[in-house]
Copies of this chain bind each other. A is one copy, B any other.
Amino acid sequence: MSIDIRINLNNELYIKDPQISKLGRNIIHKSIDMIYLAGFESFTFRKLAKEIQSTEASVYRYFKNKHMLLLYLVNWYWEWVGALIEINTLNIKDPKDKLGIIIQSFVSASNQNPVISYVDESKLHNIVIAEGTKSYHTIQVDKDNSKGLFKSYKNLVGMVSSVIKEVNPSFEYPNALASNLFEMANNHLFFSEHLPKLTNIKQKKNNEQEVERMLNYFVDKLLSCSV
């Protein structure tokens, strides 16, 4: 069983909301597959159109270009992880426990039961790991930012930051730690698979648990230490 809830995304991300039509959902579904398999560079709207048996022109009616589609996908992920964290920390009182759940969500939220039938969260997480930073490493980052296209990420970081402040109000860099936990989770999952010398996570089935353990180890030292 899967329930189709709606994820709320900045409408500057798309021309026409892909969530409300069959074709739109197809675009999302298949573009995740294709970017997951062959990477963002080789992905084109023409190839996508062919895969979903539609036309290039139709895809362009939903997204201005493939950069906007990538932004849509990563925003989707940011929103989704944020929502999961909200749900899973709802009854938790201890901020340290909250932070543990946050770390777990950053590393392996995609192992949760899927929320939306046409989005494969596990593949999407892999896209965020491999292509996520390309969403802001562009020449138009400031323009994109002023349109609110990174709001979901900033909200997520804001939320985590406030938990960090609960754990240790005197920690001086809560936002930096929050964004770094997110980036580190993704980086070290990537490194363990492709560039193992850049990490200490061994490439194994349980590298997710290892990354989770590492991030908790870092956080413990950073927040429970009076040095």
A197 at the binding interface (Cβ < 8 Å) = yes
Q: How many copies does the complex hold?
A: 2
Of B39, B157, B198, B224, the residue contacting A179 (CB under 8 A) is: B198
- A residues sitting closer than 8 Å to B (CB atoms) are 38-39, 41-42, 130-131, 133-134, 136-139, 141-142, 145, 150, 153-154, 157-158, 172-176, 178-180, 183-184, 187-188, 190-191, 194-195, 197-201, 214, 217-218, 220-222, 224-225, 227
Q: A176, B157: Cβ atoms under 8 Å? A: no
Q: A157, B217: Cβ atoms under 8 Å? A: no
Residues of B within 8 A of A172 (CB): 200, 214, 217
| Given A173-B214, A180-B184: 7 more A-B contacts, CB < 8 Å | A41-B138, A137-B190, A141-B195, A150-B195, A173-B200, A175-B198, A221-B225
In Å, the complex CA distance between A214 and B172 comes to: 8
What is the predominant secondary structure among interface residues of chain A facing chain B?
A: helix
- A213, closest chain B residue (CB): B172
Q: List 28 A-B contacts (CB under 8 A).
A: A39-B139, A41-B139, A42-B139, A130-B137, A134-B137, A136-B195, A141-B194, A145-B194, A153-B198, A157-B198, A158-B197, A173-B199, A173-B200, A173-B217, A173-B218, A175-B199, A176-B184, A176-B198, A176-B214, A180-B180, A180-B184, A183-B183, A183-B187, A218-B222, A220-B227, A222-B222, A224-B227, A225-B227
Q: B222, A136: Cβ atoms under 8 Å? A: no
Quote the shortest CB–CB distance from A215 to chain B (angstroms).
Answer: 10
In Å, the complex CA distance between A138 and B117 comes to: 28
Q: A176, B199: Cβ atoms under 8 Å? A: yes
